[in-house]
Amino acid sequence: MVELIEASKLAVNELIEVAGKTVIETALRMSVEHLIGPPHPGKPGAAIVRYGRQPGVVALYNRKFKVARPRIRRKGAGRVVEVEIPAYAANVAPPRTSAWWAAAFAKFIP
């Protein structure tokens, strides 16, 4: 019986890990799409462009998830500036970190 409980705990933890990371990365992608629209082959002269991904960490409840954080940049006047992703920026502020992601995560659970 104890082995069954331990196996169940491992399965639940793995599910939380996979589902949590997926929901967080989806929220980050949606936040980027809200700023610059869906992915496209490229628009000459676009002010804000996608610029790959970089590793990031997001807290949800009492866990930290390693995620692939999308990067976007603003071009213009001979310089390129990194643009903050609203969903990621909201997570960096410690007082709201877990609560913000918990609310976002709850929207995907029926």
Domain ranges of the chain: 2-106
- By DSSP bridging, strand 48-60 and strand 79-83 are unpaired
Q: Are 57 and 66 in contact (CB under 8 A)?
A: yes
List the one residue out of 25, 32, 14, 13 whose CA is nearest residue 104: 25
Amino acid at 62: N
**What pLDDT is attached to residue 70?**
92
> Higher pLDDT residue, 103 or 18?
18
CA–CA dist 110, 94 (Å, integer): 27
Question: Residue 66 above 80 pLDDT?
Answer: yes
pLDDT-derived band of residue 96, with 50, 70 and 90 as boundaries?
low
User: DSSP 3-state assignment of 63?
Assistant: strand
Question: Residue 103 above 90 pLDDT?
Answer: no
- By DSSP bridging, strand 48-60 and strand 63-76 are antiparallel
